[in-house]
Amino acid sequence: MAELAVSPLAVELPELPPLAGVRLAAAAAGIRYRERTDLVLAELAPGSTVAGVFTRNRCPGAPVEWCRGALKGGRARALVVNAGNANVFTGRAGFEATRATAEATAQLVDCKPRRVFLASTGVIGETLPHERLTAALPGLHAALRADGWEAAARGIMTTDTFPKAATRTAQIDGDTVRITGIAKGSGMIAPDLATMLCFVFTDAKIPHAALQKLLARGVEGSFNRTTVDSDTSTSDTVLLFATGATRHARVPSDGGRLLRGFARALDDLLLDLALRVVRDGEGAQKLVRIDVGGAVTGRSARRIALAIANSPLVKTAIAGEDANWGRIVMAVGKAGEPADRDRLSVGIGGTWMARDGGVVAGYDEAPVVAHMKGREIRIEVDLGLGRGRATAWTCDLTHAYIDINGSYRS
């Protein structure tokens, strides 16, 4: 596979300080790629809790099924991620690969296999050479470091052109905790979920039930509002680990008021990571934000925003820097949600070009044309029907998307 140029929308990796209770390492296990890391191990302190959200695709990969089972225990000691082979549609061999990997890891970190979480991304339908994974694990375990964050963010990449991570702090009853996440993904990105893999860690001590609630809510407002190509991965996984290695007030199992600040910081971090994934959308040249208001409900607004975000005609128009608002009208109409053409308004970059079903009289295209030439495009739609609002993010559809996806396996 040819080397891909870094996305013009790429953003820098932030400073990633150590997080109490987490050590990480990456290695080159030679699963598919040459001369790059493709295997990541994260070790979590004893007592760590975990929450997870997975793809709704009906043909999920073996690692997703493994994680769903392991999640029932609510506790985690390790995470193993490989890039290059998704271990999807691999039948019995796929399950055996997950079991063997979890058992080998469990032995190294001294826990039950069900406390090991797994994720794989890459090609579908090829048997995962898990003996290469298990052979690389002891060395990886010996190399675990508290400052292994960047190595981990790079080791989980596939067609990604830049590594993705974000970090935040939050207060729990006056004590400061940290939340750090890494993510990968650039194609086959759509709700639910919008990314292939995202792993978030905190040193807070949060019971599994509360953690799960926080994660589900956070994903709804971030990854489930972004789309690259409407295709849903068979491997999408978001895991949130809480090591409890930092001392703070005890959090009850239902979370509650104490976690308000934490929830805000988590939501913010998840959206940050989701937008980094969109910025690396295959072939993306422009980041597109779509704000829909005036819909009959929030759910209706969300569907309309995603219909616009997924429309190939809207996305190619943006790639061509064409302020073709007629295609936005088309996409609103195709969403199947309540819409009244004669109340509909459409704006780009802060300029309303269509109001209440017709072109704005004397509408000056110049500021819109200038906006379309930028890297970040904003589309606004007002349905004029109710108070439902939603925002979605996507990228444009360019030649590079076709280059990347027409030759992924070659």
Distances, alpha carbon 84 to alpha carbons 45, 57, 125, in Å: 28, 20, 12
| Shortest separation between residue 296's beta carbon and its own copies, angstroms | 12
Exactly one of 37, 195, 202, 226 is catalytic; which is it?
Answer: 195
Which of 20, 280, 336, 14 minimizes the C-alpha distance to 160? 280
| Shortest separation between residue 388's beta carbon and its own copies, angstroms | 15
Q: What gap in Å lies between CA 22 and CA 203, rounded to an integer?
A: 8
Whether 192 and 55 have beta carbons less than 8 Å apart is answered as: yes
| Shortest separation between residue 334's beta carbon and its own copies, angstroms | 4
Whichever of 135 and 359 has its CB closer to its own copies, that residue is 359
The residue ranges that bind its own copies (CB under 8 A) are 56-60, 86, 88-93, 123-127, 187-188, 190, 229-234, 310-313, 316-317, 319-320, 322, 324-327, 329-339, 341-342, 344, 354, 356-359, 397-399, 401-402, 405-410
Half-sphere exposure of 177 (CA within 13 A, CB side): 29
Structure tokens at 375: 């890297």
Whichever of 158 and 243 has its CB closer to its own copies, that residue is 158
Is residue 176 annotated as a catalytic residue, yes or no?
A: no
Structure tokens at 373: 């030439």
CB environment 91-119: b (16+ within 10 A), e (fewer)? eeebeebbebbbebbbebbebebbbbbbb
Whichever of 256 and 336 has its CB closer to its own copies, that residue is 336
Whichever of 161 and 227 has its CB closer to its own copies, that residue is 227
| Shortest separation between residue 375's beta carbon and its own copies, angstroms | 16
Is there a cis peptide before residue 397, judged by omega within 30 degrees of 0? Answer: no
| Shortest separation between residue 59's beta carbon and its own copies, angstroms | 3
Whichever of 252 and 357 has its CB closer to its own copies, that residue is 357
Q: What gap in Å lies between CA 165 and CA 54, rounded to an integer?
A: 19
Q: Show Cβ contacts of residue 131 under 8 Å, excluding neighbours closer than 6 positions.
A: 100
Q: What gap in Å lies between CA 156 and CA 80, rounded to an integer?
A: 10
Q: Show Cβ contacts of residue 323 under 8 Å, excluding neighbours closer than 6 positions.
A: 317, 348, 353, 365, 368, 369, 371, 372
| Shortest separation between residue 62's beta carbon and its own copies, angstroms | 10
Whichever of 64 and 102 has its CB closer to its own copies, that residue is 64
Residues acting as catalytic residues: 195
